Amino acid sequence: MRGAFIRTLVELAEQDPRILLLTADLGYMAVEPFAEKFPDRFFNVGVAEQNMIGVATGLAEAGYIPFTYSIVTFAALRSYEFIRNGPIVHQLPVRIVGVGGGFEYGTNGITHYGLDDVGVLAVQPGVTVIAPADHLQTKTALKATWDMPGPVYYRLGKDDKTVVPGLDGRFELRCVQCIRETGSVLMLAMGGVSTEVIAAADLLAEQGIPCAVGVVASMRPPPVDDLAEMLQRYDAVITVEAHYSSGGLGSLVAEVIAEGGLRCRLIRRAVKRLPGGVSGSQDFMYRTHGLSRQALAEVVLQAIEPDMQTSIAD
């Protein structure tokens, strides 16, 4: 996603001189196309994320559209109060680009896991929060949001190859991207873990069990109307996110169900505990936290038939 993001940003920057790129010394093999093409519009501010956001605030007030780039935790958490009191309070077009949503930084451990970024930013009014599912959707989402008047947070992944089948890069603000509609259970996914969700639906389809799938990339503004409409059509919804279980997609869907008085049962699949010092590949971490395709397929089977002996092999 980050490669697609930077390539798209270069395209946009060719058309609009207001676009700048700031990095807090991260983005090796990612930011170079922009840096080489626009050396005067690229700033490595050093390892100083708070200052990066403060500088971007000053630049944005003067009319620029600064994109700030770092790993999710440093971009969103270290500089959080500067984001709040700067771009959000002043409603300035600062872009915060976090790379490594969920467990993408695998063996780098908890300091590099993006498990709370969407939650902490989504509580703030006046910020757009975008969590694309793959690199095709990243490109569409950036093109749809780059020149919005207020701040935007982009939660990206490093993966520039994997595609969520059937998503076809679709993105609209305030919308759920529906991929499959048939079945009594709906799986809703946020971010790169969407590929596991589709794979889980495929495992179930092999057994003749249809399962609906949707992707939510527009976390703020939230797709409330789409969700309310969709949730009426299913007995159960399983939200899936490589994010702590509070503040992300599961929380959003819970709010929509509760406030809409809907009858749809909610099962939240998210990271429910601290990793406890254990790290490993993204796949390992997905398995450990119940986010692997097999585990997700089991959740669907349990939702359909709670007493059934589950039979998806790991």
Of 86, 101, 132, 214, the residue at the interface with another protein (CB under 8 A) is: 86
Q: Tell me: does residue 151 bind another protein (CB under 8 A).
A: no
Per DSSP, the chain holds a count of helices (H) and strands (E) of: 13, 12
Q: Tell me: does residue 124 bind another protein (CB under 8 A).
A: no
Quick one: 46 or 149, whose CB is closer to another protein? 46
| Structure token pair of residue 16 | 């609009």
Query: CA–CA separation, 37 vs 178, rounded Å?
Result: 37
Find residue 220's DSSP bridge partners. 129
Q: Tell me: does residue 69 bind another protein (CB under 8 A).
A: no
Q: Tell me: does residue 46 bind another protein (CB under 8 A).
A: yes
Q: Tell me: does residue 201 bind another protein (CB under 8 A).
A: no
Query: CA–CA separation, 129 vs 123, rounded Å?
Result: 10
Query: Measured from the CB of residue 81, what is the shortest distance to another protein in angstroms?
Result: 6
- Rounded to 5°, the CA angle 195-196-200 comes to 120
Q: Which of 34, 127, 45, 113 is closest to 74 using CA atoms?
A: 113
Of 5, 42, 64, 234, the residue at the interface with another protein (CB under 8 A) is: 64
Q: Do 65 and 13 form a contact (C-beta atoms < 8 A)?
A: no
Find the part of the chain contacting another protein (CB under 8 A) among 38-46, 118-126, 193-201, 304-312.
Answer: 38-46
Query: Measured from the CB of residue 58, what is the shortest distance to another protein in angstroms?
Result: 2
Binding positions for another protein, rule: CB under 8 A: 40, 43, 45-46, 48, 50-51, 53-64, 66, 81-82, 85-86, 89-90
